[in-house]
Amino acid sequence: AQSVTQPDIHITVSEGASLELRCNYSYGATPYLFWYVQSPGQGLQLLLKYFSGDTLVQGIKGFEAEFKRSQSSFNLRKPSVHWSDAAEYFCAAGASAGTALIFGKGTTLSVSS
C-alpha cells in the first residue's frame, strides 16, 4: 500500500540552528512529493514540491528538500531556523499529477531561544 512516513513526531531546534525533517515514502513508482506547513487551526501552506528533474528543490521561507530515490526519501532542510518556523510540517505524496495526496503523520517543530 502507498504510504508516507515521517519518523519524527516532535523536534526541538534552537533558533539559528539547522533543521532536517525526515520523510520516507512507499510507492510503486516515484510519486509526486510535497512539503506543507500548518500553523494551529489553519490550513496548509505549500513549502515546496518535487515532480522530476533536479533532486534538490528550493522552496519558500528558505526551505529546501532533497529527493533520494535510493533511500525513498524526501527530507526537508533549513540552514537557520527562526522562531516563526515553529509549526506542524507535513510530507505528502501523490501517485501522479492531480491524484489525491497521502499525508504523513506530521512533525511538530518547536524552536527554542
Partner 1 sequence: GAVVSQHPSWVICKSGTSVKIECRSLDFQATTMFWYRQFPKQSLMLMATSNEGSKATYEQGVEKDKFLINHASLTLSTLTVTSAHPEDSSFYICSARDDRDYGYTFGSGTRLTVV
Identify the residue among 23, 31, 35, 36 touching partner 1 (CB under 8 A). Answer: 36
Nearer to partner 1, 17 or 46 (CB): 46
Stretch that binds partner 1, among 18-26, 36-44, 69-77, 79-87 (CB under 8 A): 36-44
Cβ-contact 46, 98 below 8 angstroms: no
Decide: 92 and 25 in contact? Cβ < 8 Å.
Answer: no
- What letter does residue 22 receive in the DSSP assignment? -
CA 95 to chain centre: 17
Please report, as ranges, the residues that interact with partner 1 according to CB under 8 A.
34, 36, 41-46, 90, 97-98, 100-106, 108
